[in-house]
Chains A and B, each alone.
Chain A
Amino acid sequence: IQLTQSPSFLSASVGDRVTITCRASQGISSYLAWYQQKPGTAPNLLIYAASTLQSGVPSRFSGSGSGTEFTLTISSLQPEDFATYYCQQLNSYPYSFGQGTKLEIK
Chain B
Amino acid sequence: EVQLVQSGAEVKKPGESLKISCKASGYIFTTYWIGWVRQLPGKGLEWMGIIYPGDSDTKYSPSFQGQVTISADKSISTAYLQWSSLKAPDTAMYYCARRNYYYDSGGHKSLDIWGQGTMVTVSS
Contacts and interface: CB of A to CB of B under 8 A. Distances in A.
Contacts of A99: 44
Listed residue (B46, B60, B99, B111) with the most chain A CB atoms within 10 angstroms of its CB: B111
Interface stretch (B8-16, B24-32, B102-110): B102-110
Contacts, number: 75
A97 interface: yes
Interface string B76-90: 000000000000000
B94 to A, nearest CB: 11
A48 interface: yes
Interface range, B side = 20 to 34
B1 interface: no
Interface string B24-52: 00000000000101000000111101100
- Interface class of chain B by DSSP: strand
B109 to A, nearest CB: 4
Contact of B112 (A30, A54, A95): A54
Interface stretch (A10-18, A37-45, A71-79): A37-45
B115 A42 contact: yes
B108 A30 contact: yes
B117 to A, nearest CB: 6
B105 A52 contact: yes
Contact of A42 (B99, B100, B117): B117
Contact of B110 (A48, A94, A96, A97): A48
Interface string A70-99: 000000000000000010101001111111
Contacts of A98: 44
B109 A90 contact: yes
Listed residue (A33, A37, A94, A96) with the most chain B CB atoms within 10 angstroms of its CB: A94
B88 to A, nearest CB: 22
Nearest to B35: A95
A35 B95 CA distance: 14
A75 B33 CA distance: 33
B66 interface: no
7 contacts: A31-B108, A42-B115, A43-B97, A86-B45, A93-B50, A97-B47, A99-B44
